[in-house]
């Protein structure tokens, strides 16, 4: 004995993988923001990510988790196109019990997506902000 647990080593390596962590953050933020029933577009995600409210005279991001999850990491601002590219990369990748699925393919009107839960559990959005 005295050797490292190989399963623990694999789990540690996965936890330190920035791509997996980014996917986990995006899926979790989308599930919290849109739930598992609502269909959305990249433009809807952008609108949520950039939505602000005023709290005590200062601007506060309403969905800071969505902004952080789709942040580009290169200092450039996110936009609907960059979010759409990322959603396309994330389609059908399960992590943390969620995945993004494309439910409508439309190059003219924009693809439409939704979040699926692995166990079929329906998740409602975390707040009741008016839909887009």
Burial class (CB in 10 A: 0-12, 13-18, 19+), 115: buried
Mode of pairing for the β-strands spanning 52-55 and 58-61: antiparallel
CA 117 – CA 16 distance, rounded (Å): 24
Average pLDDT over residues 69-81: 88
Higher-confidence position of 51 and 128: 51
Q: Is the pLDDT of residue 108 over 90?
A: no
Average pLDDT over residues 119-124: 70
Q: Is the pLDDT of residue 124 over 90?
A: no
Mode of pairing for the β-strands spanning 98-104 and 58-61: unpaired
For the chain, give the mean pLDDT.
85
C-alpha pair distances (Å), 71 with each of 30, 82, 113: 14, 9, 19
Band (pLDDT 50/70/90 cuts) for residue 132 is very low
DSSP notation for 19-82:
HHHHHHHHHHHHHHHHTTT--B-HHHHHHHHT-EEEETTEEEETTHHHHHHT--SSSPPP-HHH
Higher-confidence position of 131 and 98: 98
What per-residue confidence (pLDDT) applies to 123?
67
């Amino acid at each position: 004995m005295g050797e490292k647990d190989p399963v623990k080593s694999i789990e540690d390596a996965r936890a330190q993988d920035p791509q997996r962590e980014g996917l986990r953050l995006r899926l979790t933020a989308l599930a919290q923001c849109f739930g598992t029933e609502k269909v959305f577009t990249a433009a809807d995600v952008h609108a949520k990510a950039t939505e602000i409210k005023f709290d005590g005279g200062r601007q506060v991001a309403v969905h800071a988790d969505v902004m952080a999850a789709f942040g580009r990491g290169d200092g450039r601002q996110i936009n609907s196109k960059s979010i759409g590219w990322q959603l396309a990369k994330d389609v059908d990748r399960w992590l943390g019990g969620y995945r993004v699925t494309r439910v409508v393919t439309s190059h003219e009107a924009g693809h439409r997506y939704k979040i699926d839960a692995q166990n079929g559990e329906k998740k409602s959005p975390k707040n009741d902000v008016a839909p887009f």
